[in-house]
Amino acid sequence: MTTVQAIRNRINEIGMGEPFTSTQFNALGTRAALDQTLSRFVKQGEIARISRGVFVRPKKSRYVGEVLPEPSKVAQAIASVHGETIQVQGAEAARLLGLTTQMPLQAVFYTSGPNRKLKLGNLLLTLKHVAQRKLALAGKPSGLALSALWYLGKEQVTTGTIKTIRAKLTPEAFEEFRAETPAMPAWMADTLHRYEQEGARA
């Protein structure tokens, strides 16, 4: 089997509309052969390039035309290519945890890498560089809690906020969240301590 056919077969195993990276084919040929083959597939319309090293098999809908991949999957794919860490942006984390009902107007993710912006159809995907401490527990429910608290900030985070988070997380995830207390800013750690003291008095 040729390298071209091996890569095509592997791509065909990937779901339509699912982003994938060039690194997934490293075992099938040299870097030059992979790049050349994927570029050829893009020109032929078999796949589409989303970002450097990130591709997708276009998924079509009879009603809306091309169906774009989920922004979160694209962000994860970009992070995988560049060896970066990705975290859900604080506004979306707060919404997922029931701390706000406001729907973010853009797809924004925190990253350990550089700032990036790219278009997914009419949607702008933004990767925003943040300090490593804001990426703690990335990819975990406990990490959502930290991201949400950073976003809400000192003035909005109360013991009631922690109570809501506690109700949303599993006991194990909440313990992971609590274990990050030494790395939290003072205002965040103090609120968590007050919540625990209120619970002890209840």
Q: Which string of b and e fits 57-84 if b means at least 16 CB within 10 Å?
A: bbeeeeeeeeebbebebbbbbbbbbbeb
Quickly tell me which residue has 């979160």 as its tokens. Answer: 72
**Amino acid identity for residue 38 in this structure:** L
Domain 3-59 classification at class level: mainly alpha
Question: Per-residue confidence of the chain (202 residues) as pLDDT tens digits?
Answer: 788 899 999 999 988 888 999 989 988 888 898 999 999 999 998 898 888 889 998 877 666 566 778 889 999 999 988 899 999 999 999 999 999 888 777 889 999 999 999 888 778 899 999 999 999 999 999 999 999 999 999 999 999 999 999 999 999 999 999 999 999 999 999 999 999 998 766 5
What's the pTM? 0.79
Domain with CATH 1.10.10 in the chain: 3-59
